[in-house]
A and B are shown apart, each in its own frame.
Chain A
Amino acid sequence: MTAVQPQTDLITLTIDGFEVTVPKGTLVIRAAEQLGIQIPRFCDHPLLSPVGACRQCLVDIEINGRAFPKPQASCTIPVENGMVVKTQLTSEVAHKAQEGVMEFLLVNHPLDCPVCDKGGECPLQNQAMTSGRGESRFEGKKRTFEKPINISSQVLLDRERCILCARCTRFSKEIAGDPFIDMGERGALQQVAIYEKDPFDSYFSGNTVQICPVGALTGSAYRFRSRPFDLVSTPSVCEHCASGCSLRTDVRRNKTLRRLAGNDPEVNEEWNCDKGRWAFQYTMVKDRIATPLIRENGVLREASWPEAIAVAANGLQGKKAGVLVGGRATVEDSYAYAKFARATLGTNDIDFRSRPHSDEERDFLAAHVVGSKVRYSDIDTADHVVLVGFEPEEESPIVFLRIRKQVRKRALSVTAISPWQTRGFKKLQAKYIGVAPGAEGNALAQLSLTNQSVIVVGERLCESAGGLSAVAELARKSGAKIAWVPRRAGERGALEAGAIGNLLPGGRPISDAAARVDVAAAWSIESDSIPTSAGSDSKAIFAAAARGEIKALVIGGVDPFDMHAPDFAGLESAFVLSLELRPSAITERADVVLPVAAVTEKSGSFMSWEGRTRSFEQAVPETPHQSDLYILSLIAEALGKPLGFSTVRGAAKEFGTLANWDGARASFTSHPVANAAQGVTLASWRQLLDNGSLQVNEPNLAGTARKAVARINAQLAAKLGVANGDLVTISTDHGALSLNVELSDLVDDVVWLPRNAVASQSLRMLGVLNGAQVNIRKGL
């Protein structure tokens, strides 16, 4: 998008004898940066509001010949015409003031540097060297506190190291909206504190560790693990959700030790969520599959690669096959799966949606999502954001931060259509339209939007029949933009790469003869070898395998329990080739299991929900594992129909020639909104921190997950005769689960359950989707 920058007033001032012209409202410290003059600072952060807490950035300022009587904090003073600023470089007074402030800061700062996590990348350490006095005149005893204290299970606080810059408290208040930490006490005893009963359970707490300019806040997972100069850093991309955060992965001795948020102003700014920051142990768990496995006499045994490839190729040869791609594949891997299905196996039965899905959704994706270019910047310029089937804080935290930023900055109006008014919606000051699950479509039809509005659609809206149709209709009527935000990092890329039954790479409709010719030419295969009819979706592929119509399955990174009521019969009868990291319900039944590389062990790219390509390089230098696409290329070669590439670069290059399609998109036919179910209905979605398979082995992270509770409103509670904290049991024909009740702001006759919490996997245990009728009773 090319937004026209609004014309702003310009102001000219002099800093250290150099003239600089900057927009009105710029702070002196930023104006100095434009000249390359670095004024030391701790509390100042470009994305937080100025506070002037640390006093390290003192400079001498005069305006039109009248000088300030004392040095001023340059991080709080906006520029003025005719201002003359003298920094430490030209003013002895400023220099002495900065040295004095530094000496004061160091009076109570312990000499932990040799063992402190921050040592080596510490702004205090660095600036004590550049702007401090060589020696301290302090001879007293330093103030000490007990250290460290856990302010949450994953953030530790060493109070004596703190210099009270208030970066962490400002971040929590302003950016995350979780004001769980604040300054307590006074004078020398002032310290960052948590409220007695509320730990610092924010989804964004990791950012405070990163922006802490000293080592006062440290992450428990990284504490004392390494020093910055031991680490090899690789810019990478987060694989946990579709937000597309830029990250930095730090590796030591071939092990990932930490991940930090990268600085990408267009996407995640400088932030990320705790899951992206602290969930990476899954690549290093003991039960990673290390070698290829072949099933022999009912048990899996280790095999060599050539043997396993031969057995896999033999099992797939000449059979009608289906391909299931988990939502975490990179764009290149998805493209390899898409090409493998069409060119090697000759089938359109491929689907990346290893989660609840519908035909309506598939048509919607083909018509309205693939190739769309709605960006984060559209949220920045939107006049109205509608959230439907989507809880941004839980399901795409960076989208949440971006909307919240605009809400704070310019009171962006947000409408949330949901059965439960969550804390996240309240933090967005959203207009809450409470609807029973399944009835989102009716509420959407009531809205009026403009072409500046953005409708943010979550993947679970497909569970409400007619919901996506209502979104399409609303967008058509008003010209509003549709932002489809899936949960998983690979879904948008897999859609673009054609890992779905009705689309070829680049969003080419399978029904379009020109599209098939186009793709066949690029793949150098006969154009009539690509099947003309749309393939089955994930559920239908499992069902067809159970009926014996599909005789071979290629499954990459799918957990069948992510789908509702999965049919395992097909897995027993068909030949199953599984490409996996760790043992799963699929590998237990697979005939050949091939280990694949995790994200840190390969290069590639993801596509964020915007459709923005986010490339990353291999972070872990030595790994025995190979990416999915390399393994698929070996199997394709053994089957005599090679893919034509075996490297990420090769796949990316070939996909690049197919990524854009200027022909017609698939058409979309509206589905009617289904009638609401009778009785108590279920509402359920995944929370950010839950029982996800990429969050294994992270006890510190799991400590800040939300407690699993059943949420109902007071009306339903009265009907059931339960109070807050009482046990209720929710059951269906499939199963039952019992949880404690928490009274919440829900619509009538709806019970909300976490979909994949450790104690409550509503999908797996109840086997029903949103809007389904459930039985609820008091007690066990």
Chain B
Amino acid sequence: MSELEPKRAIDGAAEESIHIPIAGPASLFTQLKGFWVTFAAQFKKVTTVQYPEVKEPTAPRFHGRHQLNRHPDGLEKCIGCELCAWACPADAIYVEGADNSDEQRYSPGERYGKVYQINYLRCIFCGLCIEACPTRALTMTNEYELADDSRKKLIFEKEDLLAPLRSGMLQPPHPYYPGTDDQDYYHGRVTEAHPSQEQK
């Protein structure tokens, strides 16, 4: 019988000790106070935004879609070092580097990122990749509209991530600005493209 004793004790407790005090209806004053809050809210300033018709700017350092930046003459900043991929806690970045040559130069220095993919199904927008990037090639934009209808479309390729060519930039591959080397690029001494850099 000893095995049954604890069970009986629990049963007893359930019957006796559950006691929910039920108060009667609140006083009229208390009820009016509640209704007043609701009523007064009608006259407050509305903070809801009618997205997507209306779009508010984000905070300036909002973590949005990534961007692969360019040097002022259009050469890519990415050197294919894969540090972003190693820093990524979600394993969202895939990079394959390749060698630059004088005929096919995409970035200053020895290497460039040949394949660059970010999987936005995995990305958690933590920004560790940005911190890891040694050339400031990878930064984040404020763009947050990243919904789509297939998994494939959410794996962004290098051409989706590259910054657009602004005026004065040339589409790589093209050679260095005449008379400069990679150090000049890293120290910001190249400020625009030179016509002679254009490659047929």
Interface string of B80-91 (1 = CB under 8 A from A): 111100100000
With A and B bound together, what is the CA distance between A332 and B134 in angstroms? 50
**A224-B81, A224-B110, A227-B86 known; A114-B97 Cβ under 8 A:** no
Complex: chain A residue closest to B86, CB-CB: A227
Q: Is A10 an interface residue (CB 8 A)?
A: no
With A and B bound together, what is the CA distance between A223 and B132 in angstroms? 20
On chain A, the residues within 8 Å of B110 by CB distance are: 148, 223-224
- Chain B at the A interface: mostly helix, strand, loop or mixed? loop
Q: Is A115 an interface residue (CB 8 A)?
A: yes
With A and B bound together, what is the CA distance between A115 and B79 in angstroms? 10
Q: Are B86 and A115 in contact (CB under 8 A)?
A: no
Q: Within the complex, what minimum Cβ distance (angstroms) separates B129 from chain A?
A: 13
With A and B bound together, what is the CA distance between A223 and B81 in angstroms? 11
Q: Which residues of B contact A (CB under 8 A)?
A: 79-83, 86, 97, 110-111, 132, 134
Q: Which residues of A contact B (CB under 8 A)?
A: 114-115, 148, 223-225, 227
Q: Are A114 and B80 in contact (CB under 8 A)?
A: no
Most buried by B among A114, A223, A227: A114
Q: Are A224 and B97 in contact (CB under 8 A)?
A: yes
On chain B, the residues within 8 Å of A148 by CB distance are: 110
With A and B bound together, what is the CA distance between A114 and B134 in angstroms? 8
Q: What total of A-B pairs shows CB separation below 8 Å?
A: 18
Q: List 16 A-B residue pairs with CB atoms under 8 Å apart, sorted by A's residue number.
A: A114-B81, A114-B83, A114-B132, A114-B134, A115-B79, A115-B81, A115-B83, A115-B134, A224-B80, A224-B81, A224-B97, A224-B110, A224-B111, A225-B97, A227-B82, A227-B86
With A and B bound together, what is the CA distance between A223 and B99 in angstroms? 10
Q: Within the complex, what minimum Cβ distance (angstroms) separates B99 from chain A?
A: 8
Lowest 3 A-B CB distances belong to which pairs?
A115-B81, A224-B111, A114-B83
Complex: chain A residue closest to B83, CB-CB: A114
On chain A, the residues within 8 Å of B79 by CB distance are: 115
On chain B, the residues within 8 Å of A225 by CB distance are: 97
On chain A, the residues within 8 Å of B86 by CB distance are: 227
With A and B bound together, what is the CA distance between A697 and B71 in angstroms? 34
On chain B, the residues within 8 Å of A224 by CB distance are: 80-81, 97, 110-111
With A and B bound together, what is the CA distance between A224 and B97 in angstroms? 8
With A and B bound together, what is the CA distance between A114 and B111 in angstroms? 14
On chain A, the residues within 8 Å of B132 by CB distance are: 114
Complex: chain B residue closest to A156, CB-CB: B110
On chain A, the residues within 8 Å of B83 by CB distance are: 114-115
Q: Within the complex, what minimum Cβ distance (angstroms) separates B142 from chain A?
A: 27
With A and B bound together, what is the CA distance between A421 and B80 in angstroms? 48
Q: Within the complex, what minimum Cβ distance (angstroms) separates A395 from chain B?
A: 33
With A and B bound together, what is the CA distance between A656 and B110 in angstroms? 51
Q: Within the complex, what minimum Cβ distance (angstroms) separates A639 from chain B?
A: 46
Complex: chain A residue closest to B79, CB-CB: A115
With A and B bound together, what is the CA distance between A115 and B111 in angstroms? 11
On chain B, the residues within 8 Å of A114 by CB distance are: 81, 83, 132, 134
On chain B, the residues within 8 Å of A115 by CB distance are: 79, 81, 83, 134
Complex: chain B residue closest to A148, CB-CB: B110
Complex: chain A residue closest to B111, CB-CB: A224
Q: Within the complex, what minimum Cβ distance (angstroms) separates A116 from chain B?
A: 10
Q: Within the complex, what minimum Cβ distance (angstroms) separates B115 from chain A?
A: 11
With A and B bound together, what is the CA distance between A210 and B14 in angstroms? 75
Complex: chain A residue closest to B81, CB-CB: A115
On chain A, the residues within 8 Å of B97 by CB distance are: 224-225
Q: Within the complex, what minimum Cβ distance (angstroms) separates B86 from chain A?
A: 7
